[in-house]
């Protein structure tokens, strides 16, 4: 199934409306329930169209995470559902969730006991954060960037490409996946916490020892727009090189477009996989974006296409 997908045109692969819907969902770290509910509804509606039907795991034992198991899995895809954002404190103060960019005038949205909110971010002289709004917002309210989805011939741009695009990629793989696991995780942007028990589940129940991290990385001096998905050799974590080399050899065999990433910082669910007490390999593979963690995250369509094609092949051949 995956090999046949390589011959599809990009218009057959991509569905901007689905990505646009997901970028609108308010689901910062710790409050992923809206994204979970959307995905459960999407899976229920669309699984009959997929080539193979998965077993679905969710509920109390998984908190707000979702696991899809197809056939006899050898490899698992991890895609985090959460985003960066802000928490309302006292006296109009805001605290970061994860590492959002901050700039005067950014529009933020949310909901509290009094209704819908659209307020403005304010960066104070002492670098502390606050909001401007017609009333006080309930303390503890979570706010996210107001979405403004833009599409051109070559690019898509909006807040939360990281990691709605990683989730979207996993859903595209699900359409033809015969054997494998797809995990939708929580809390990645604010230090993790779900991956440790999710790795326990996939290892203990299915003996899976290979993972791919479907996430979005950075445009840098070495990783550019339009040159293919980035296969990360390292960031703040160090994946096992023999596993990464196997992935690169598969990409080369199928003449797929990719870039190699080497960074000293940054991290993902892969770091949590590496810290888990199970012998599970991981590799971060994701399209690069510009304007990271801002309302204007920007990804090239060629890199999205490259990401989908590589994941489909890897899930078949690893």
Segment 132-138 shows an average pLDDT of 98
- Look-up of token digits 């550019």: 224
Identify the CATH homologous superfamily for domain 2-83+150-317.
Answer: Zn peptidases (3.40.630.10)
The alpha carbon of residue 277 and the mean position of all alpha carbons in its chain are separated, in whole angstroms, by 23
Q: Does residue 111 surpass a pLDDT of 90?
A: yes
Question: 40 to each of 46, 220, 267, 297, 311, how far by Cα in Å?
Answer: 10, 35, 27, 26, 22
**pLDDT score for 290:** 98
**pLDDT score for 9:** 53
Segment 62-79 shows an average pLDDT of 98
What architecture is the 86-145 domain classified under in CATH? Beta Barrel (2.40)
CA distance 25 to 268: 21
Q: For 122, phi and psi rounded to 5 degrees?
A: -125, 125
**pLDDT score for 1:** 41
* pLDDT tens digit sequence for 223-235: 999 999 999 999 9
Q: Does residue 7 surpass a pLDDT of 70?
A: no
Segment 106-125 shows an average pLDDT of 98
Q: Does residue 70 surpass a pLDDT of 50?
A: yes
Q: What is the β-pairing status of strands 281-286 and 229-234? A: antiparallel
Q: What is the β-pairing status of strands 229-234 and 107-112? A: unpaired
Q: Reduce the DSSP state of residue 117 to 3 states and report it.
A: strand
Residues 6 and 313 sit within 8 Å (Cβ to Cβ): yes
Segment 69-97 shows an average pLDDT of 98
**pLDDT score for 205:** 98
Phi-psi region of 214 (alpha: psi -120 to 50; beta: other; left: phi over 0): beta
Question: 152 to each of 146, 158, 217, 289, how far by Cα in Å?
Answer: 20, 12, 21, 15
**pLDDT score for 173:** 98
- Where in the chain is CATH 2.40.30.40? 86-145
**pLDDT score for 16:** 86
Contacts of residue 95, Cβ cutoff 8 Å, sequence gap at least 6 = 86, 87, 89, 129
Segment 113-127 shows an average pLDDT of 97
Q: For 12, phi and psi rounded to 5 degrees?
A: -75, -30
The tally of CA atoms less than 13 A away on the side-chain side of residue 289 is 26
* pLDDT tens digit sequence for 168-193: 999 999 999 999 999 999 999 999 99
Q: What number of other Cβ atoms are within 10 A of residue 14's Cβ?
A: 18
Q: What proportion of the chain, given as a percentage, has pLDDT over 70?
A: 95
**pLDDT score for 6:** 46
Q: Does residue 2 surpass a pLDDT of 50?
A: no
CA distance 80 to 77: 10
The tally of CA atoms less than 13 A away on the side-chain side of residue 183 is 28
- Where in the chain is CATH 3.40.630.10? 2-83+150-317
CA distance 202 to 58: 13
Q: What proportion of the chain, given as a percentage, has pLDDT over 90?
A: 95
Tell me the average pLDDT of the chain.
Answer: 95
Question: 147 to each of 78, 102, 161, 256, 302, how far by Cα in Å?
Answer: 24, 15, 10, 32, 23
Q: Does residue 14 surpass a pLDDT of 90?
A: no
């Amino acid at each position: 199934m995956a090999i046949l997908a390589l011959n599809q045109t990009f218009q057959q692969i991509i569905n901007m409306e689905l990505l646009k819907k997901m970028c609108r969902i308010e689901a910062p770290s710790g409050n992923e329930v809206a994204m979970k509910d959307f995905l459960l509804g999407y899976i229920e509606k669309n699984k009959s169209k997929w080539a193979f039907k998965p077993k679905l795991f969710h509920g109390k034992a998984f908190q707000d995470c979702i696991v899809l198991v197809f056939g006899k899995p050898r490899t698992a895809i991890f895609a985090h559902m959460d985003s960066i954002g802000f928490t309302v404190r006292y006296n109009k103060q805001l605290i970061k969730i994860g590492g959002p960019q901050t700039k005067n005038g950014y529009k933020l949205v949310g909901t509290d006991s009094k209704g819908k909110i659209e307020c403005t971010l304010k960066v104070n002289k002492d670098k502390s954060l606050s909001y401007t709004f017609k009333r006080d917002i309930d303390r503890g309210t979570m706010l996210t960037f107001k979405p403004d989805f833009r599409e051109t011939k070559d690019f898509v741009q909006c807040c939360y490409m990281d990691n709605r695009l990683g989730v979207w990629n996993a859903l595209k793989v699900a359409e033809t996946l015969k054997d494998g696991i797809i995990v939708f995780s929580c809390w990645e942007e604010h230090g993790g916490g779900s991956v440790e028990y999710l790795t326990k589940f996939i290892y203990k129940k299915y003996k899976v020892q290979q993972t791919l991290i479907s996430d979005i990385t950075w445009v840098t001096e070495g990783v550019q727009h339009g040159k293919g998905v980035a296969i990360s050799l390292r960031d703040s974590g160090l994946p096992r090189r023999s596993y990464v080399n196997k992935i690169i050899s598969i990409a080369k065999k199928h003449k797929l477009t990719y870039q190699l990433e080497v960074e000293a910082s940054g991290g993902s669910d892969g770091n949590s996989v590496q810290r888990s007490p199970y012998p599970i390999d991981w590799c971060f593979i994701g399209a690069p974006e510009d304007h990271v963690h801002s309302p204007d995250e920007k990804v090239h369509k060629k890199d999205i296409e490259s990401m989908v094609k590589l994941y489909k092949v890897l899930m078949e051949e690893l």
